[in-house]
Amino acid sequence: MPSRDPARRFQDIIDNIDLIVARTAGMTKEEFFADPDQYDATERRLSRISEAANKLGALAEELEPDVPWKNIRGIGNWLRHDYPNVLRETIWLRSAPHANAPSSASNVVARRARTIHPTSAAPDIHH
């Protein structure tokens, strides 16, 4: 069932993207893999992003058709149901500080959150 508060769901996505970016900034892949707490936290944040996208339902595609919502939702399913086959490399590639996708997605989602709920605390994201 879609969320009754889409601005909150968009904000959840922003918050978790920002945490991934902030916590992995300056890390190498080797450092990331050597830190099991950081790896687990990143995996959990990706799950939260996926869950928020699921709660947005079809509204997500209606409001932001250029965001790969199917893929965002899919990573949560993959993490939950195909756990033995989760590749650490994939988690790194989805969260690596060198990846432009997280900050780009965060900017799109932040704009949408402000559009849905103009008084939303959604910040301008400039990474």
pLDDT tens figures, 90-104 = 777 777 654 544 455
Map out the domains of the chain as residue ranges: 6-116
For residues 23 and 39, the answer to whether their CB atoms sit within 8 Å is no
Residue 1: the pLDDT is 45
Q: pTM higher than 0.75, yes or no?
A: no
For residues 7 and 117, the answer to whether their CB atoms sit within 8 Å is yes
The stretch 38-67 carries a mean pLDDT of 90
DSSP 25-49: TT--HHHHHH-HHHHHHHHHHHHHH
How far CA 65 is from CA of 59, 69, 98, 102, in Å, comes to: 9, 8, 25, 17
